[in-house]
Amino acid sequence: MNGGSALVRRGAAVSVALLLVVLVAWQWGPSLLGIPTFIIPPLSSVFDEFLRMLAVSGLMTHTGVTAAEVIAGFLIGSLLGAFFGYLLGMSPTAEFALSPYILALQIAPKVAFAPLFILWMGFTVYPKILVAVLIVFFPVMVNVLTAIRTVDPDLINLARAFTATRAQIFWKIEFPASLPPLFAGLRIASTLAVVGVVVGELVGGNLGLGYLLAFGEGQANTAMVFVAILMLTVVGGIAYLAVILVEQRVLHYLPRRALTGV
């Protein structure tokens, strides 16, 4: 354990040093290299823009709207994905019948649906949530489906030999066995939800960080675009972290090492 904590301390020190180097390079690098501020605004002007947007552009409102859409899209998409994953996993007939359509939908670039959803639902939050739902659905569904498919048949036979019912086999074997892959899918889903929401906001509407991105671009306000990107990263990061925290509680029985991989 001592070796482990030394590694953590050294790693953290290097990480912080790296961050400082990047920040310093960001602040003074562009001007040294003669890059104009409308291409890469220095750190200090991005920070000034951040404060200005907090004060007059309603940055927190936009961030809040985007975060709410991300949460809604993530939850609905994950629930649907898990539900269909379990359903198809337990019914080979359903999987056989539906798999060509699911494959087609999975190959279609989900973000391309954004303009369509806006045509259908107008400049509301719903098309943004819907794009996120669509994009989140697949990794969760595929992971759950694969997990159900790959449960050791001997485990199922063991339960059957103990006279288990179909429901008992699901709740005592298949469901818990599917949780590690489910969480792997949820990690991916948490970052994809942000992508879906941003694309929706870029396409239409006047709320959210995606709107600020488009607005900043229109104004040639590079600093504003940077601020929006940073805030989106924060939203995505918090979503990802939330999944990891839940995962560590639910999958506490796994050896430590298996959980730390990001």
Residue ranges in contact with other proteins by CB under 8 A: 152, 154-155, 157-164, 168, 172-173, 176, 179, 253-255
**CB-nearer residue toward other proteins: 109 or 261:** 261
**CB-nearer residue toward other proteins: 167 or 220:** 167
Task: Dump the DSSP string for 73-91.
Answer: HHHHHHHHHHHHHHHHHH-
**CB-nearer residue toward other proteins: 46 or 173:** 173
Largest alpha-carbon pair distance within the chain?
76
**CB-nearer residue toward other proteins: 93 or 163:** 163
Query: Computed over its alpha carbons, how large is the radius of gyration of the chain?
Result: 23
Paired tokens of 171: 């709740």
Query: Closest separation between CB of residue 156 and other proteins, Å?
Result: 10
Here the contacts of 45-48 (C-beta below 8 Å, separation 24 or greater) are 45/223, 46/223, 46/226, 46/227, 46/230, 48/223
Paired tokens of 27: 């602040």
Spatial CA neighbour of 135 closest among 194, 63, 64, 66: 194
Query: Closest separation between CB of residue 261 and other proteins, Å?
Result: 16
**CB-nearer residue toward other proteins: 172 or 187:** 172
Burial of 117: CB neighbours in 10 Å, binned 0-12, 13-18, 19+: buried
Query: Closest separation between CB of residue 5 and other proteins, Å?
Result: 21
**CB-nearer residue toward other proteins: 55 or 258:** 258
C-alpha 47/C-alpha 83 separation (Å) is 44
Query: Closest separation between CB of residue 174 and other proteins, Å?
Result: 11
C-alpha 149/C-alpha 130 separation (Å) is 28
The answer to whether 149 and 89 have CB atoms below 8 angstroms apart is yes
**CB-nearer residue toward other proteins: 32 or 256:** 256
Query: Closest separation between CB of residue 176 and other proteins, Å?
Result: 5
Query: Closest separation between CB of residue 173 and other proteins, Å?
Result: 7
Query: Closest separation between CB of residue 66 and other proteins, Å?
Result: 36
What does each C-alpha distance from 56 to 59, 62, 151, 201, 229 come to in angstroms? 8, 12, 55, 20, 18
